[in-house]
């Protein structure tokens, strides 16, 4: 069992494990106070999953590939109600596309579909516009959350958005009138040309939304 290092004064969000409890017990003689909070029942699956993910990732990384698969399957089999269909086959492999016969799969974005990606707009990073266009090509739904929407930004995605709408992909937009920057033309395009569901918050006095997020999946 790995040892938990001594904790300096500060704020933490650490799940109390046997190792952490032992460390706190060893430090019981010092002058520091400690506070604890119960994990809310609604948050428990997320908190426990994060802990399991860290421990399992550390363990698997130390094993040969075939042993990683065997260990993963043995862990799955200890979970109540896990069915045989959820165990991992040899390889392991990822399903990367499903297409009609004789039809090439869509071009893939350079960032993983299942992971969060941070774009810094540096020369060595993928460009946000090109990645969004590639993801929209096979998306099942498209959501935009943004403080303001301008035609200059939407124009570079116009063809991809239209192609998605023509495939019947639902598009939703949530925006505001923050600093008066939202373009009427952009909203009209979403509603009239794409049939998108658009919601605009006009309360610019008490509400200040400055989020920027595309969810394409």
Q: pLDDT tens-digit profile of 125-156?
A: 788 888 889 889 888 899 988 888 889 888 88
CATH number for 171 = 3.30.870.10
Does pLDDT of 36 surpass 70?
yes
Q: Worst-scoring range by mean pLDDT, 27-36, 94-103, 187-196, 207-216?
A: 207-216
Residue 94 lies in a domain: no
Residue 82 lies in a domain: no
Among all chains, which residue has been given the structure tokens 């428990």?
Answer: 44
Domain count, the chain: 1
Q: Which of 140, 160, 139, 157 is nearest to 149 (CA)?
A: 157
Joined tokens for residue 103: 């039809």
Rounded average pLDDT over 19-48: 83
Contact indicator for 4, 23 with CB cutoff of 8 Å: yes
Residue 117 lies in a domain: no
Residues in the chain, overall count: 217
Residue 147 lies in a domain: yes
Residue 189 lies in a domain: yes
Residue 17 lies in a domain: no
Most confident of 51-55, 81-85, 102-106, 213-217: 51-55
> Could you give the 3-state DSSP secondary structure of residue 207?
coil
What domain range includes position 167? 128-216
Q: Which of 132, 142, 128 is nearest to 198 (CA)?
A: 142
pLDDT of residue 3: 55
* Mean per-residue pLDDT over the chain, rounded: 84
Residue 190 lies in a domain: yes
Can you tell me the distance from the alpha carbon of 197 to that of 63, in angstroms, rounded to the nearest whole number? 49
Residue 12 lies in a domain: no
Half-sphere exposure of 209 (CA within 13 A, CB side): 20
């Amino acid at each position: 069992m790995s040892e938990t290092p001594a904790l300096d004064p500060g704020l933490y969000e650490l799940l109390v494990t046997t190792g952490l409890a032992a460390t706190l017990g060893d430090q019981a003689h010092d002058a520091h106070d400690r506070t604890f909070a119960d994990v809310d029942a609604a948050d428990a699956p997320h908190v426990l999953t994060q802990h399991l993910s860290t421990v399992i990732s550390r363990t698997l990384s130390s094993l040969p590939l075939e042993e990683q698969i065997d260990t993963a399957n043995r862990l799955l089999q200890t979970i109540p109600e896990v069915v045989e269909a959820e165990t991992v086959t040899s390889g392991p492999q990822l399903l990367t596309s499903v297409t009609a016969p004789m039809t090439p799969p869509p071009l893939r974005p350079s960032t993983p579909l299942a992971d969060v990606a941070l774009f810094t707009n540096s020369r060595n990073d993928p460009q946000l516009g090109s990645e969004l266009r590639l993801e929209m090509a096979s998306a099942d739904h498209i959501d935009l959350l943004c403080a303001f929407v301008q035609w200059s930004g939407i124009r570079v995605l116009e063809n991809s958005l239209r192609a998605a709408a023509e495939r019947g992909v639902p598009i939703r937009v949530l925006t505001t009138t923050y600093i008066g920057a939202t373009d009427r033309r952009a909203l009209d395009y979403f509603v009239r040309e794409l049939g998108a569901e658009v919601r605009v918050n006009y309360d610019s006095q008490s509400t200040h939304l400055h989020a920027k997020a595309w969810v394409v999946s």
